[in-house]
Amino acid sequence: MRLKDKAALVTGATAGLGQSIAEAFAREGAAVLVTGRDAARGEAVVEGIRSSGGRARFRRLDVTAEEEVEAAVAATVDEWGRLDVVVNNAGYYGPASMRPLAELPVAEWDRVIQVNLRGPFLVCRAAIPAMIRQGGGAIVSIASIRAIHCSHNLPAYTASKAALIQMTKSIALDYGAQNIRANAILPGVHDTPGGQQSYTDREEYLRRIASLTPLGRIGHPSGIAYAAVFLASDEAAYITGATLVVDGGRIAGEYRPHRSGPSTRRA
């Protein structure tokens, strides 16, 4: 059990990557505050964790609301006496944000920045003092490969995720002496409910993603969960201010496979 006796707060944990992270944390021994806006789904995630013998509670949370965020951090400390790990997973983009900059409504820009940047800022701002009091902690922020390898028609999203990485590094620099580590995971394309807005024909979508990905398949949320467990655990004690790309090789370089695959003939 790699997160035994730790208490964690995971945002956006009612579905997709966040749910997978919360479940993996509980399996590794952590007590988890599952947070999100959908109480029914959140309670279902908690029920699943508890029925597998894990410890979890649900709390409704909009990460853009300062008072709600502070209350969620306080609730974690009240419930389990500590807060060791924060996972900034809640994120947003939608059909209205998928367009070039001059066509982006100002309200949509604000919405993306609010959820993807102000949210993690508020969560870290509330959590860091609690971590300092107990002698340290770990922050894991879920950014995106699009933070460092841009994509068309996503100006607000890519900017928000790039800013999240730099905020993560700032925390690493400013709170390293207090033994707080902060790292970011950069997921590639994953098979999650949030990804459903990117396609109409699922089979065609999966085939297309597979053809663009060196490892030949779309990501499974468990891969992000394992990465988060690693970065949250003491095995990563010397890792801070760093990024971990989990994308099947998508941004490592140009991928133009020959039909027959690379040659294995000897020189």
Partner 1 sequence: MRLADKVAIVTGAGRGNGRGIARGLAREGAAVAVADIIEENARKVARGIEDSGGRAIALKVDVTDPQSVQGMVDATLAAFSTITTLVNDAGVISRIPFFETTKEEFQRVVDVNLTGTFLVAQAVARVMVKAGGGSIINIASQGAERGAYELVTYCASKGGVKTFTMALAVTLGQYNIRVNAIAPGPIPTDMTAASLGDPVRRASIEAGIPLGRLGTPEDLAGICVYYASDESSWVTGSTMWIDGGGLAGLARAPIARK
Note the residues at the interface with partner 1 (CB under 8 A). Answer: 169-170, 172-173, 176-177, 179, 181, 188, 213-217, 219-220, 223, 226-227, 229-230, 233, 235-249, 251-255, 257, 261-262, 264
Whichever of 104 and 180 has its CB closer to partner 1, that residue is 180
Shortest spacing between CB 50 and partner 1, in angstroms:
24
Whichever of 35 and 233 has its CB closer to partner 1, that residue is 233
Shortest spacing between CB 176 and partner 1, in angstroms:
3
Shortest spacing between CB 172 and partner 1, in angstroms:
4
Task: Based on the residue annotation, tell me whether 157 is a catalytic residue of this protein.
Answer: yes
Taking the C-alpha atoms of residue 177 and residue 154, their distance in angstroms, rounded to an integer, is 36
DSSP 66-123: HHHHHHHHHHHHHHHS---EEEE------GGGSS-GGGS-HHHHHHHHIIIIIHHHHH
Cα–chain-centroid distance for residue 119?
12
Among 91, 27, 8, residue whose Cα is nearest residue 226? 27
Catalytic residue among 92, 93, 157, 175: 157
Taking the C-alpha atoms of residue 174 and residue 37, their distance in angstroms, rounded to an integer, is 31
Whichever of 60 and 220 has its CB closer to partner 1, that residue is 220
Whichever of 75 and 242 has its CB closer to partner 1, that residue is 242
Shortest spacing between CB 264 and partner 1, in angstroms:
6
- Which pair of tokens denotes residue 258? 């020959």
Contacts of 200 (CB under 8 A, 6+ apart): none
Give the residue numbers marked as catalytic: 157
